[in-house]
Structure 1
Amino acid sequence: MTYPRNLVGYGETPPHAAWPNGARVAVQFVLNYEEGAERSVLHGDPQAEHFLSEMVGAQPIPDMRHMSMESLYEYGSRAGFWRIRRLFEEFGYPVTVFAVAQALERNPDVVAAMQNYGWEIASHG
């Protein structure tokens, strides 16, 4: 039986991309938007989010809201998104947003801003 995954790729003969203006590097800016879709007892989850954060060693709190975790996520939707949006708009950089649908559903103003500035929205979780 052959192995079902392709780990070889192009091997010694990769394609040679020709970027505009002779550029040798392409950069893509991707923003994760998850705020409002993290695990929470408010969403019917058995415990609050404890893994997907910058809080090292955070522990799950069964059947209770994790207020400091909620605060981390809320900052992103209340302030962080708008600060980042202004920076990308100032420099005219395109953005792809890896967004959780539930998070977008909870903040239509953010969705409108993404659409108004022509940001590409891709599904994330």
Structure 2
Amino acid sequence: MVNRRKLMLSHGGVRIYHSWKGARALTWWYALEPGHEAEGGGRDFDIRKLPEAFLDGLDLDMARVADAAETLKAYERMLDAHRQALRRAIDAGHDFEASVARDHRRSGGGVIGWLRGVMGR
């Protein structure tokens, strides 16, 4: 059973959750509410789009390795880098609500916004 309420980080009174697509947590996407389904409501964000000051010096990607044990270690290192970037953002007072709303307005609301645009609604 997939735990859809999985908390990524709780820091400084801010709670960040994994964002999901089907039964899988997405690699770089996080949500402001538990059980968030990607492309379904505009409550998620791509960590790579945080301001550079929060990402500086961190490797947000996961090195590909052949060994399963090493892959798990690489994944944990990547998640640690994500947590560090999120802590930096929270400590600096980053407004996740405002940036999520701004990003979703820019993208036109994701797939739903794109479909509305195509259909002229």
Fold shared per TM-score above 0.5 = no
TM-score, normalising length: structure 1: 0.25
Higher RCO, 1 or 2 (CA under 8 Å, sep at least 6)? Answer: 1
Name the structure where helix makes up a greater proportion of residues: 2
TM-score, normalising length: structure 2: 0.25
Which one has a bigger Cα radius of gyration? 1
